[in-house]
Each structure stands twice: as structure tokens, then as C-alpha cells.
Amino acid sequence: MAFPKGFLWGTSISAEQVEGGWNEGGKSPVQIDYAAAGDAGHMRKVWFRNADGTRGSMPAFGKLPEGAKYEIFDDIHYTNHEAADFYHHWKEDLGLFAEMGFTTFNTSLAWSRIYPYGVRNGVNKEGVEFYRNVFTEARRLGMDPVITLYKYDEPVWYEETYGGWENREMIDEFVEFAKTCFTEYKGLINKWMTFNEINILIMFKAMGNSNLSKESIYAQTHNQIIAAARSVKAAHEIDPDLKVGCMIAGQCAYPLTPDPNDVMATYAGFQEGFCYCADAMMRGRYPSFAKRMWENDNVQMTVSEEDAKDMMEGKADFLGFSYYMSGCITTHTDTEATAGNLFTSVKNPYLKASDWGWQIDPVGYKYTLHVLYDRYNKPLFNVENGLGAYDKVEEDGSIHDSYRIDYHRAHIQKLKEAIEEGVDIFGYTTWGGLDLVSASTGQMDKRYGMIYVDMNDKGEGTFERKRKDSFFWYKKCIESNGDELD
């Protein structure tokens, strides 16, 4: 059997994408609470009121213009406000997870439920208890949850009070939040991850699709890296048995041509997009090519002695990563673009793509598993892997999502091969096993789930849950510890 005994199987979801209850239980607003849905061809936008009274919008993760304020507008439907309504359905959802045989699941904690208005204004007990109930029930059902502390959702209060992650005050705030979580959930949660896809701003920089300056992107990323390192140290002090990983958005790209310039550009893309953050967190120092990045981007970056020490002492225990698709890179300009996971790439003629233009590539997955294990030599955890698709509910309520089964079968097959070839990985969680709100487009109709949630982009639906064909397929796969993939 390729998969080791105790291999963790499950799914990954996130607070802001499934919970809803956006203003319940003492939770404060986060930026995405002000974002409208886009569609297959358009990213979602965050809406606000400008200082002169006009309406404005910007891409998610962006920075408000001077004097602007977030505002809820009556004529916009905000898909995250209710999302999949996990906040009220969590018991039923965990029951369905258990029915599929999950031995783990991953979600993020909403910081805005734990410290809605900063550490100085106190912990919100209702938020702490909400997650305690969720984790206790998950354990009772046989799951060993792996929990992410941060998934792009600090309370807006931090932006208003400190200006957000550019400010080093955020480091202490985050570490306090992390310590509260490690302490409150001691014995319930043994594996944590600090920041989801911490490399996302660096990737935005490369694609030029953010309104943040390069200085801001480097400063925010650095402050998050330091906050993560100090949290790892704090976790080990609170409980030496805790394992704390980092989580990096997977990046798999091929040179479009054998032109050595394409090969170099592809390697540089991997270094900058993935390894810049992963090296800092797994090896405890920025890679040598970081200097090239800072110089090319004309930013002044100095790493203080204290930060360097924290990075070295707070290395992550494992490497969590997401993988959805691959792309191509070229220095030639006569190419066709494809859409991607919050980024675009060049079309690969050998691959098929999803309805959102994401190129499906299980071989790229195996390649990624090898590259990451070779480079970091620490256990891997594949936190996200999945296919966003439109699903059709038949008259009898069934959902025949053979495309999703094909996707996961092909990827799990490659995972199995990689393990047989020596890659050390302790778990696989599909992305969005419960239908949820898409991060890039804000849609509910872009579905990843094995559990259907009756809710659409316009807010129509009952939140009823239905088992898709993939639900039964994944159950069989887990029962056989990955042996039965037909």
C-alpha cells in the first residue's frame, strides 16, 4: 500500500468562504465582507465610499484610497455574508465529513471572531467557544483537524487602527492571537498552519494586479513571515508536541519553448513566486536571490538581527501547499493567455482547462511534490487540490460530477506514485469539499464540493446539503486508504 497508515484524508475550507454569520457572535467585519461577486471572466471587487462621497472599488487585498471608508451598499449582494452558512450548519457538515470517513479537515479561524477589535479590546469568548465546539465535535467524529490561523481576514479594525500589515504592530497582535489559539485549543488541535498562501502578494506583484506598491508588498510579507516565525516559537513553548507548518500557494510552470531565456524565466518565476517565502519559513533565512528581487524592484529591505534570529529559531515544522493547475512561462510575446488561480499564465497546448481556464495537470502535481520535497526535505501536507466547476442538480436531486472524480482520481494516482518514489507527505485535503464562495471571483456557482450547498451567486437557495457522486467516490477512496480509485 502506497499511502502510509494514518495518512490524513479530508477537505479544506476556510472561515470567510464557508461560515457566513458575518456580523454574528461578536464577529467584526473583514475586507471581504465588502466584496461583490464577479463571474468566470471577472475577479471580484471590494466596494467603498470615497472621501468625496462617490463610490469606489478595488481588487481584494488592495489598500483603500486616502479618506475612503468601507460601506455596505443595498444594491450589492455580498456572497460572503452568508457563504455556505457553516456558522449555523457546522454540526451537519461535520457529520457529512465523518460519513465520508475523513480523518482530518482543515479550516481557518476567523481572527475577527477571536479578537474582533484588537488584543487591547479583549478576546471574544463567543468566538472562542464557537471553534471549541467545532473542534470538539470533529475529534468526537474521529478527525484530527489541521487549523490555519490566518486566511487573508484580519479585522478591518486593524487597517483603520494600524494601516494593516505594513505596520510592525501587527506582528505582536498576530502573535497574541496565535498564542490565544494555541492555549485555548491545546489538546484539541495538534497541527497548525500560520498564514494561508503567504506568497500571494509576491505573486500579485509579479502579475501587476494589485494596487499595492512594491514596498508595501515586501513589507507586509516580511511582517507576516516574522509573525509566523514568532508564533512557531510560541507554539513550541506552549506545547512542545505542537507541529506548526507554513502554507505556500503551489506554483508549477514549464518553459513554453526550449529557448534558454524561457527556461531561466521559468526558474526565476519559481524562485521568486514560491521559494522566496518558502525558504524564509522552512530554511529560516531569505534565499540568496532575494537580493536580486529587492534590487530589481528598487526597494530597500534590511533584515534586522532580531528578525534574522526569529526566522532561524521559528522555522516551520512542515510545508503546507496548495496545488490546482500548471502554467507556462515565456519571454516571447506571441502567446495566448489563460486564466488562473488569482493569476494568469500562458496556455499549454498539451493540457485541458476548467471552465475558468485553469489548466488541469496531474503530472505537474507529481513534479511539484518531488521538487518541494527535494528542496525542503521536511514533511509535506497538500492542503488544497480541487476543480471548480458548474454542477447540475438533476430532478431526483442527484449530482453527477464525474469531471470532479476524474480530477481527484488523476491527482491522487500521481500522489501515490510520488509517495512510492520517496516523497514524505502526511495528508491530502481536497479544496472546498463543501461548496463555498470562490476567493478570486466571489461566486458560489464555482463549485469545488463533494457536498452541494443549495445557494447561488444571487443569494437564492435554502442552504440544503446534497451528496454529489464525488461524495461516494471519495468515501470509497478513503475507506481503502487511497487504494480504490475506480
How far is CA 335 from each of CA 43, 256, 327, 343, 348, rounded to the nearest angstrom? 22, 9, 12, 16, 10
CA 218 – CA 221 distance, rounded (Å):
5
Contacts of 470 (CB under 8 A, 6+ apart): 401, 404, 405, 408, 450
Q: In this structure, what is the dihedral angle of CA atoms 316, 320, 326, 329, given to the nearest 10 degrees?
A: -10
Site membership for ligand BG6, residue 250 (CB under 6 A): no
Nearer to ligand BG6, 153 or 173 (CB): 153
Site membership for ligand BG6, residue 124 (CB under 6 A): no
CB of 74 to ligand BG6, least distance (A): 26
Provide the mask over 283-322, with x wherever binding to ligand BG6 is found by CB under 6 A and - wherever it is not.
Answer: ---------------------------------------x
CB of 322 to ligand BG6, least distance (A): 5
Query: Which residue from 198, 432, 401, 410 is spatially nearest to 316, judged by alpha carbons?
Result: 198
> Is-catalytic flag, 159?
no
Nearer to ligand BG6, 25 or 38 (CB): 38
Nearer to ligand BG6, 89 or 446 (CB): 446
Site membership for ligand BG6, residue 104 (CB under 6 A): no
5 has which bridge partners? none
Query: Taking a C-beta distance cutoff of 8 angstroms, is the pair 147, 105 a contact?
Result: no
Nearer to ligand BG6, 109 or 234 (CB): 109
> Is-catalytic flag, 384?
yes
CB of 66 to ligand BG6, least distance (A): 29
CB of 292 to ligand BG6, least distance (A): 26
Residue of 384, 417, 464, 479 marked catalytic? 384
Site membership for ligand BG6, residue 153 (CB under 6 A): no
Query: Which residue from 3, 73, 6 is spatially nearest to 36, judged by alpha carbons?
Result: 73
Query: Taking a C-beta distance cutoff of 8 angstroms, is the pair 425, 418 a contact?
Result: yes
Site membership for ligand BG6, residue 446 (CB under 6 A): yes
Q: Which of 64, 440, 455, 478 binds ligand BG6 (CB under 6 A)?
A: 440
CB of 19 to ligand BG6, least distance (A): 13
Nearer to ligand BG6, 320 or 362 (CB): 320
- What is the grid cell recorded at 265? 524565466
CB of 181 to ligand BG6, least distance (A): 19
Residue of 19, 166, 176, 197 marked catalytic? 197
Query: Taking a C-beta distance cutoff of 8 angstroms, is the pair 30, 153 a contact?
Result: yes
Query: Taking a C-beta distance cutoff of 8 angstroms, is the pair 386, 432 a contact?
Result: yes
Rounded to 5°, angle at Cα 122 from 157 and 227: 65
**Binding footprint of ligand BG6, residue count (CB under 6 A):** 15
- What is the grid cell recorded at 143? 478527525
Interface with ligand BG6 by CB under 6 A: which residues? 14, 17, 196-197, 249, 322, 341, 384, 388, 431, 438-441, 446
Q: Which residues are catalytic?
A: 197, 384
